[in-house]
């Protein structure tokens, strides 16, 4: 599932390929539900002629800024990939949206599970209103030890629920939540407000380390993630707990367990997570 590192890697790739390219046409609209706030006809009439200025990550969303002041926004959800290919490359049966651009390129949204979504906003204000209601602080660019402390202290629910709540901290999903909780030696079902200042700082450091290492490894490709060039990452070879039930904890050797916390499969080490 694409989380912050996977989305960041993809956004960087798109930002190498797309700025300066002009949209020629919209194609492959076989799954209209993928267009969350526009009809296929609206997109086909408004996009051609617009030039892509830049790509960047917003939480788990990818934003393509356009020269008319609007933007496209993508959410990959579980199995979506955004790929840049030469024009005319066969799409495969799971490509549900594409735009062709100048320079004989094509941007494709490939998503077997069809959960992914595409938004078009005519102005950045419109986009900001949308995002403001959905994404909070960026864990790498905006969150500080102090702001994490403050979020934790105001929240009585489970620690893992807080990490997964995009309105508070934007970008962490199930896999990296488990990995950073393991790194910090904290149990997922702890009440967020029960963390000591020392534990909160440990969580902050773990968050920075886990996310930035995963970006360096170009993301976790357990099943679906590919970068904009169609290449997998390598972080799946460096997971400590996620998906490793029955195997020994790399830190203390105790057997890793799986249970459900906050409605999500949760892998943890009962030996070193308290």
Contact between 58 and DNA by CB under 7 A: the answer reads no
Residue 264 annotated among the catalytic residues of the structure: yes
Member of 75, 218, 225, 244 binding DNA (CB under 7 A): 75
CA atoms within 13 A on the CB side of 8: 22
* Closest approach of DNA to the CB of residue 87, in Å: 25
**Cβ(169)–Cβ(139) under 8 Å?**
yes
Task: Lay out the site mask for DNA across 190-229 (x = CB under 7 A, - = otherwise).
Answer: ---------------------------------x------
Identify which of residues 28 and 78 has a Cβ nearer to DNA in the complex.
78
C-beta atoms surrounding 34 within 10 Å: 20
Q: Where are the alpha helices (DSSP H) in 18-137?
A: 40-46, 124-132
Residue 156 annotated among the catalytic residues of the structure: no
**Cα 95 to Cα 111: distance, rounded to the nearest angstrom:** 6
Identify which of residues 105 and 115 has a Cβ nearer to DNA in the complex.
115
C-beta atoms surrounding 12 within 10 Å: 16
Identify which of residues 45 and 223 has a Cβ nearer to DNA in the complex.
223
Member of 199, 250, 264, 270 binding DNA (CB under 7 A): 264
* Closest approach of DNA to the CB of residue 193, in Å: 7
Q: Which residues pair with 217 in a beta bridge?
A: none
Which of 57, 58, 60, 218 is the catalytic position?
A: 60
Q: Where are the alpha helices (DSSP H) in the chain?
A: 4-17, 40-46, 124-132, 145-153, 159-164, 174-184, 197-216
Residues that bind DNA (CB under 7 A): 1, 3, 33, 59-60, 75, 77-79, 94, 112-115, 134, 155-158, 161, 164, 166, 173-175, 223, 262-265
């Amino acid at each position: 599932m694409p989380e912050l590192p996977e989305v960041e890697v993809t956004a960087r790739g798109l930002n190498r390929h797309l700025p300066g390219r002009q949209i020629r046409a919209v194609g492959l609209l076989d799954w209209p539900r993928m267009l969350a706030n526009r009809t296929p006809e609206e997109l086909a009439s408004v996009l051609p002629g617009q030039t892509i200025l830049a790509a960047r990550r917003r939480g788990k969303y990818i934003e393509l800024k356009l020269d008319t002041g609007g933007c496209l926004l993508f959410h990959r959800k579980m199995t979506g990939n955004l790929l840049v290919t030469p024009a005319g490359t066969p799409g495969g049966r799971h490509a549900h949206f594409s735009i062709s651009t100048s320079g004989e390129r094509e941007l494709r949204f490939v998503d077997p599970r069809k959960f992914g979504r595409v938004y078009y906003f005519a102005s950045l204000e419109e986009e900001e209103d949308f995002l403001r209601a959905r994404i909070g602080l960026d864990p790498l660019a905006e969150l500080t030890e102090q702001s994490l402390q403050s979020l934790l202290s105001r929240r009585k629910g489970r620690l893992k629920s807080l990490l997964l709540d995009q309105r508070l901290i934007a970008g962490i999903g199930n896999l990296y939540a488990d990995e950073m909780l393991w790194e910090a030696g904290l149990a997922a079902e702890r009440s967020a407000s029960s963390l000591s200042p020392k534990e909160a700082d440990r969580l902050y450091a773990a968050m920075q380390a886990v996310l930035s290492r995963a970006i360096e490894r170009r993301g976790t490709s357990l099943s679906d993630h590919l970068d904009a060039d169609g290449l997998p990452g390598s972080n799946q070879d460096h997971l400590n707990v996620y998906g490793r039930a029955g195997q020994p904890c790399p830190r203390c050797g105790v057997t890793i367990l799986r249970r459900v916390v906050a409605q999500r499969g949760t892998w943890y080490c009962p030996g070193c997570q308290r």
